[in-house]
Amino acid sequence: MSVNKEIKRVTTRTVQEMKLRGEKVSMLTAYDYSLATIVDDAGVDIILVGDSASNVMAGHETTLPITLDQMIYHAASVVRAAKRALVVVDLPFGSYQGNSKEALNSAIRIMKEAGAHAVKIEGGVEIAESVTRILTAGIPVMGHLGLTPQSIYKFGTYTVRAKEEAEAQKLREDAAKLQELGCFGVVLEKIPAQLAKEVTESLSIPTIGIGAGQHCDGQVLVIHDMLGINKGFKPRFLRQYASLYDVMNDAIKSYVSDVKSSDFPNEKEQY
């Protein structure tokens, strides 16, 4: 794995040990080399190359349009930047739902062509065969339950999931199944904090929450959301740590103004 002697690489085992120690796991998305460098350097444990790239990078309404080739392009860029973080890559919509062979082939392409360390896959018992097949090939798998954006057209909304007992019970069973199959962790998205607490306490693998409350073993956010680059998106679960939209907008306005006024470039900025 890591050949760098100064920086100790986070592994799937590391994050499982963190749960045992009671140390929270930090996870953020990144989709390109520059931002991934900043994220890695800041000490984030896991970088997720999320299919949210479909929204954030490509401007699509949903995560459905992004392709496996596009995910691999983003992932390869992130892997080149990540010296310490564990790099997990989403299997995009349409790259695994067909059958377990398709799922395995997609996971292998992500590992081989991008150099990723693990894959993440949305769903529970219904994808058990695919998860098993990927794990059997030696590829670590992270689960994703609750609000699963690739199924948005089945649900119709991005509201909180598993508020009803039947859906909560299905989620408990799905989480137990993913652990039993050998997943190294599971993302819990937009579910009641009490349910996330129960699931977290019942599992030995870490739960990483987004809109799933304070009891999860770790937290994940989309980097553009938490940096305030993505101005329109402000759900309740999001804490915005900067307002980079404004910072960048001001800088760009200054540049435009300096070009227009012939202030840029000056004598020192030319040859």
Ligand X SMILES: Nc1nc(=O)c2c([nH]1)NC[C@@H]1CN(c3ccc(C(=O)N[C@@H](CCC(=O)O)C(=O)O)cc3)CN21
Binding site for ligand KIV (CB under 6 A): 29, 48, 50-52, 90, 187, 189, 210, 220, 222
**Binding ligand X by CB under 6 A: which of 137, 173, 214, 235?**
235
- Residue 124 interacting partner from ligand X, ligand KIV, Mg ion, none (CB closer than 5 to 8 Å by kind): none
CA dist., res. 62 & res. 42, Å (int): 29
User: Which neighbouring-strand residues pair with 25?
Assistant: 218
Task: Please tell me the distance from the alpha carbon of residue 250 to that of residue 258, in angstroms, as a whole number.
Answer: 12
Start-to-end CA distance of the chain, whole Å, equals 46
Per-residue interface string for the shown chain with ligand X, residues 172-201, x marking contact by CB under 6 A:
------------------x-----------
For residue 265, whether the previous peptide bond is cis, meaning omega lies within 30 degrees of 0, is yes
d(CA 33, CA 64): 23
Question: Which does residue 187 bind out of Mg ion, ligand KIV, ligand X, none, counting CB within 5 to 8 angstroms by kind?
Answer: ligand KIV
Question: Does residue 130 interact with ligand X by CB under 6 A?
Answer: no
What does the radius of gyration of the chain's CA atoms come to, in whole angstroms? 20
Question: Which residue, 158 or 255, has its beta carbon nearer to ligand KIV?
Answer: 158
Q: Are 58 and 12 in contact (CB under 8 A)?
A: no
In the residue annotation, 189 being an active-site residue is answered as yes
Beta carbon of residue 51, minimum distance to ligand KIV (angstroms, whole number): 5
* Residue numbers 46-75 binding Mg ion by CB under 5 A: 50-51
- The reply to whether 211 sits near Mg ion by the rule CB under 5 A is no
Give me the residues paired with residue 122 across strands.
144
Give the residue numbers annotated as catalytic, written as ranges: 189
